[in-house]
Amino acid sequence: MRKADIYTSIIVMMGCAYIFYSALDLQYMLEDGVPGPGFLPIWISSLIFFCMLLQLILSLRKKAEPGGKSCFSKESVRNALVLIGSSAVAMLLSHLLGMLVCLGLLVGYLSWMLGMKNWKVDVALAICIPLIFWAVFSVFLEVQFIQGIFGF
């Protein structure tokens, strides 16, 4: 955690410096002392910078824990990649295959990847969930899903 805190503080401070610099292009004050569009971003970035500086100092003063656990295990990184990555891929494919098809594939794939190693359940999910979405969102709530080569 100590290392992660140090790196995060530095990254966020760099981000704040960028926000502060960009906000300088915006008007700080309008007429009669009314805050302009740059007022809040300048103050917010300064305050975040200050908080992160404090966090950095506190983290540096902390002793490194021998054998201390990292807050991101290999497993958690893999989980995040599977969940976010597969969802992103599914959405990218939705113009080609159609959103409902992609959602079905995504649900089936995620269910399998997350531990449901029963292909009958996964296939059932891949078929039923898009049908439910079609009924609830398309028919009832009138959401227009992206259509693909199959025409739905």
Partner 1 sequence: MEIVGNLLQGLSVALTPLHLLFCFIGVVAGMLIGALPGLGPSAGLAILLPITVSVGDPTAGIILMAGIYYGAMYGGSITSVLLGVPGDPASVMTVADGYPMAQQGRGGAALGMCAIGSFIGGTICVILFTILGPSLAKIALTFGPPEYFSLMVLGLTLVASFAEKTPIKAYTAALMGLFISTIGLDLVTGASRFTFNQPKLYEGIDFIVVALGLYGITEILLAMEDDALSFKFDKKALSWRKLLPTMQDWALTKWHILRSTFLGFTVGMLPGSGATICTFISYAYAKNAAPPERRALFGKGAIEGVTAPETANNAASVAAFVPLLTLGVPGSGSTAVMMGALLMFGLQPGPLLWENNPDFIWGLIGSMYVGNAMLLILSTVCIPIFVRMLEVPFPVLNSVVMSIIIVGGFSLGNNLFDVGMVLAFGLIGYCLRKMDYPAPPLILALVLGNTLENSLRQSLILSSGSMGIFFARPVSCILMVGALSSIAWIVYKAVRGARKDAAALTES
Among 98, 5, 23, 16, smallest CA distance to 59 is for: 5
Q: How far is the CB of 151 from partner 1 (least distance, A)?
A: 18
What size, in residues, is the chain? Answer: 152
DSSP 29: B
Residue 86: partners with Cβ closer than 8 Å, 6 or more residues away: 106, 109, 110, 113
For the segment 21-60, give every residue that binds partner 1 (CB under 8 A): 22-23, 26-27, 29-30, 32-37, 40-41, 44-45, 47-48, 51-52, 54-55, 58
Q: Binding string to partner 1 for residues 92 to 131, with x set by CB under 8 A, is what?
A: --x----x---x--xxx-xxxxxxx----x---x---x--
Residue 110: partners with Cβ closer than 8 Å, 6 or more residues away: 82, 83, 86
Task: Determine, following the binding rule CB under 8 A, whether residue 87 of this chain makes contact with partner 1.
Answer: yes
d(CA 86, CA 92): 10
Taking the CA atoms of residue 113, residue 114, residue 119 and residue 123 in that order, the dihedral angle to the nearest 10 degrees is -90
Closer CB to partner 1, 73 or 150, in the complex: 73
- Interface residues with partner 1 (CB under 8 A) are 1, 4-5, 8, 12, 19, 22-23, 26-27, 29-30, 32-37, 40-41, 44-45, 47-48, 51-52, 54-55, 58, 71-73, 75-76, 79-80, 83-84, 87-88, 90-91, 94, 99, 103, 106-108, 110-116, 121, 125, 129, 133, 136-137, 141, 143-146
